[in-house]
Structure 1
Amino acid sequence: MSKLYLVPTPIGNLKDMTFRAIEVLNQVDLILAEDTRTSGKLLKHFEIVTPMQSHHMHNEHKTVHAIVQKLKSGLNIALISDAGTPAISDPGFLLTRACIENDIEVECLPGATAFVPALVNSGLPNDKFVFEGFLPVKKGRQTRLSLLAEETRTMIFYESPHKLLKTLTHFCEYFGEDRPIAVSRELTKLYEETIRGTSKEVLEYYTNKPPKGEIIICVSGKTSYS
């Protein structure tokens, strides 16, 4: 019986690739990759020669049906993203849903996901939390921030380096300058760092030291600091 495997890949350090992930990628008939050039380097490193096909946010609506047909024909397929677990702020949800609707078995392997180490390392409460991913860039951003201002659980956001200062400024405005936050960047890589403090303090830090790399922001919920 054919199966779709969702296979996490390292978020930076290649040593975080699991033995099982390598085994599955070697055994499936086809690998769907968010960026075949990026994933090609990973597969080459682990000497995986399984055929690869592009599957990203710009073409996933068009390719889902064809992939489902391949699975129905008996192929076993693995989906990987550039880094981390597929479908977490990356393509994967649409294909997973289509497979479930067509009674095709889906299995997600455990593995790297950037927000988990960032949350645990933040020092903020992690018994209850809400993952927000990327905030809306324009439309809906203010509405979302206004709603989250009342959120009592720790909040987790992804952000790009060139938008970090804007987002931290909005956090000061909507959540208050004294709200405890932690910004983690370059997790598992050589220059990994986590900066903790109030939203104002962290904004001042990155105003003087422009950030680079992948960024995860953890923000204390309202009741955790008041």
Structure 2
Amino acid sequence: MTEDNATTDGAGRRVRVVLVDDHRMFRTGVQAEIGETARTGVEVVGEAADVDQAVTVITATRPEVVLLDVHLPGGGGVEVLRRCAPLMAAAENPVRFLALSVSDAAEDVIGVIRGGARGYVTKTITGTDLVDSVFRVQDGDAVFSPRLAGFVLDAFASTDAPPVDEDLDRLTQREREVLRLIARGYAYKEIAKQLFISVKTVESHVSAVLRKLQLSNRHELTRWATARRLV
């Protein structure tokens, strides 16, 4: 997420937020950018790093909005949404979810929206835009980063089940993230920084992807991803 000076959405407005992300440094950065209540109107009332923590904190604090990462230990953002479904369906003061993720993959976007999230923004969003998105989600609006809304419209406009890609299904969510970034020309160090992991971990993921897809190098991997419109 890029830095910016966030401002309060409206005079006197306040929104209580829970941050759910398995990277402590990212949570700290979000807290620093949007968590000054007097300046932004956003009050961060809790944080969580995995599915179980998220459900516990959300149930205890009943925030208006949850900023939810897609990939979490314990089942991911979709599992948090499933277990918090009664809170989303509450007649009074429902909890609303806004996905905030590094991933811009169609299956990730569609998965959390089907699970009940009100929107999906990527971590390149500015502080100002994130505050605005939080208030809009609190108001019941649907909020998406540019181009991601198209994934949702296409998915819900089609009555046919999406085709299953058996090769892609062999990969874990993290391996898919690394695959897309490699195919987009990112260096290992850039991928490590983007995903908050070590270069050695990136190398391990790339090796696993090449092995599972029976490819020899990153050039073949890029062609494979491009042919499936994953880039």
* TM-score interval (norm. to shorter): 0.3 to 0.5
- Which of 1 and 2 has greater Rg? 1
Which structure carries more relative contact order (alpha carbon 8 Å, separation 6+)? Answer: 1
> Greater strand share, 1 or 2?
1
With normalisation by structure 2, the TM-score equals 0.40
TM, length-normalised to structure 1: 0.41
